[in-house]
Amino acid sequence: MNAARIRQKIAFLVLAIATLLIVIPILLTIFYIVKNGISAVTWTFITQSPRNGMKEGGIFPAIVGTIVLVIGTMLFSLPVGVLSAIYLVEYAKDNFFTRLVKLSVVNLSGIPSIIYGLFGFTLFVLLMKLGTSILAGSLTLAIMSLPVIITATKEALESVPFSFREISFSLGATKWQTIRYCVLPYAIPGILTGTVLSLSRAAGETAPILFTVAAFYLPRLPRSVFDQVMALPYHLYTISTQVPNMPMELSFATGFVLIALVFIMNLVSIILRAHYRKKKLW
């Protein structure tokens, strides 16, 4: 074996080891949370409110809070995100405005989550007088989720063959009819995948909800969109840093439920993708 071949063997081995050193911590992280958390995840834990300064009882209000926030986020970010992407792909001419929209999307995706928190706090909580509420939190998370939804929708729209549009136009359809009946139906899987993915990220975010919606301890369910709620990530943060003598297994169990929720959402997005890909006809 010549020197070059030996060098290749060594180099590839180094690459493999580096990859392994990334893979092992990922598996360990999941294993660590699951192993320590699963025993405390009981029916009571999932369906009951916290008691005794959060040291006993369950996390039901936090689960509900996170789900409510995710739904609220979707209601705001899905329409705006999808429509902006339609604008960029179908309507935009190459002008200053279009470039500005594109630049803004890039920018939004790079803004740190805590800045969204600050912004949501001044605009929604103070200026629009929504107070720390589900509405303010959802709007904040929605703006944060926009870039992912826009990018995913854009890719989905672009992957629909141009001939679909040409045929529709040639049959006398208007621009919107073409988009509505000949482009969007085929882009739906991509849009859904991107949306679910961005929502799963919103579900795990803490910084944007710190001052816009999250309640430290609120053992009841929200009554209106102007209520505060507990949320899983914020709950995990408070019980692991602010509550002295917190029983460890409850913290682990909260982490476990949070990870499980996020993974389930990711799984849904993967299944959606696979399901629609099978039905793809061209």
Partner 1 sequence: MFRRINEKIIESCIKLSGLLVIIFVFLIFLFLLKDSISLFGQYPIGQFLFGRNWLPISEPPKFGIVPLLLGSIYVTIGAIVICVPFGVAAAMFIAEVAPGYLKHVLKSLIEILASIPSVVLGFIGIVWLGPFLRNTFGLKTGMCGLTGSLLLAFMALPTIISICEDALVGVPRTYKEAAFGLGATHWQTLWRIILPAASSGIIAAVMLGIGRVIGETMVVMMVTGNAPVIPKSILEPLRTLTATIAGEMGETVGGSEHYFALFAVGVVLFIITFMINLVADVCMRRAKK
Tell me the one-letter amino acid at 210. L
274 makes contact with partner 1 (CB under 8 A): no
Stretch that binds partner 1, among 52-60, 75-83, 188-196, 219-227 (CB under 8 A): 75-83
Shorter beta-carbon distance to partner 1: residue 3 or 281: 3
- Would you state the structure tokens that stand for residue 38, as one six-digit string? 């699963």
CA gap 74, 200 in Å, rounded: 11
Shorter beta-carbon distance to partner 1: residue 106 or 171: 106
243 makes contact with partner 1 (CB under 8 A): no
Shorter beta-carbon distance to partner 1: residue 6 or 224: 6
- Would you state the structure tokens that stand for residue 117, as one six-digit string? 């928190």
Reduce the DSSP state of residue 56 to 3 states and report it. strand
User: Residue 269 Cβ, how far from partner 1 at the closest point, in Å?
Assistant: 10
Stretch that binds partner 1, among 39-47, 82-90, 154-162, 222-230 (CB under 8 A): 82-90
CA gap 255, 237 in Å, rounded: 10
Integer angstrom CA distances of residue 239 from 30, 64, 69, 221, 262: 20, 18, 20, 19, 20
Q: Which of residues 156-185 bind partner 1 (CB under 8 A)?
A: 174-176
138 makes contact with partner 1 (CB under 8 A): no
Stretch that binds partner 1, among 67-75, 80-88, 161-169, 273-281 (CB under 8 A): 80-88
Member of 34, 64, 67, 92 binding partner 1 (CB under 8 A) = 92
The pair phi, psi for residue 51, each rounded to 5°, is -130, 165
Length of the chain: 282
Packing angle, helices 60-86 and 184-204, rounded to 10: 140
- Match 């482009």 to its residue by tokens: 183
266 makes contact with partner 1 (CB under 8 A): yes
Binding flags for partner 1, 94-113, as an x/- string (CB under 8 A): ---xx-xx--xxxxxxxxxx
User: Residue 74 Cβ, how far from partner 1 at the closest point, in Å?
Assistant: 16
151 makes contact with partner 1 (CB under 8 A): no
Shorter beta-carbon distance to partner 1: residue 16 or 46: 16
User: 204 near 233, Cβ under 8 Å?
Assistant: yes
User: 187 near 159, Cβ under 8 Å?
Assistant: yes
Shorter beta-carbon distance to partner 1: residue 194 or 282: 194
Shorter beta-carbon distance to partner 1: residue 227 or 235: 235
Integer angstrom CA distances of residue 232 from 58, 60, 114: 11, 9, 17
